A = this chain, B = another copy of it.
Amino acid sequence: MYPKAPELTISQWFNTDDPPSLGALRGQVVVIEAFQMLCPGCVSQGIPQAQRVQRSFGTDVTVLGLHSVFEHHEAMTPVALEAFLHEYHITFPVGVDEPGPVNGIPLTMQSYQLRGTPSLLLVDRLGRLRLNAFGHIEDLDLGAVIARLIDESPQGTDRLDP
């Protein structure tokens, strides 16, 4: 019913010594903020929201950043990203979406068919893509969706909570 979330194709990770993968994160709820460091909507809305998710849900979810550069490639280099992460106090792992060979669209952005940045991706405990939202999503709605993913069983969505 839900599509499998494609594996992330990352050329370089920041904020982690242990490069994450969706495969290794199976069993956990993963929140992926796809952004570009020079995208105003990402800076003012998307990234602060991802930081709030990290603060509100703690270890119940894994928050990852995905730097999907599809414009101004020469400006948003990994070295520039590193400075950006430092200045904006971003502490979750951030992966550089692998540059694509042809049209400038990076590989993970292509496999998820992202429409732009910011985009928010939610992957459930079974590794399935449950949300792929371009633009702004209300915190109330996001909190509801994440809570429901957290409450799903790793064996499926059947629940027998107390």
Contacts and interface: CB of A to CB of B under 8 A. Distances in A.
Interface of A: 38-40, 43-44, 52-53, 56-57, 71-72, 74-77, 79-84, 86-88, 138-148, 151-153, 157-162
A84 B88 contact: no
A77 to B, nearest CB: 8
B161 A38 contact: no
Can you tell how many copies of this chain the complex includes?
4
Contacts of A158: 160-162
Contact of A56 (B57, B138, B160): B138
A152 B161 CA distance: 6
A153 B161 CA distance: 5
Given A75-B83, A83-B75, A162-B157, A140 B52 contact: yes
Contacts of A77: 75, 80
Contacts of A53: 140
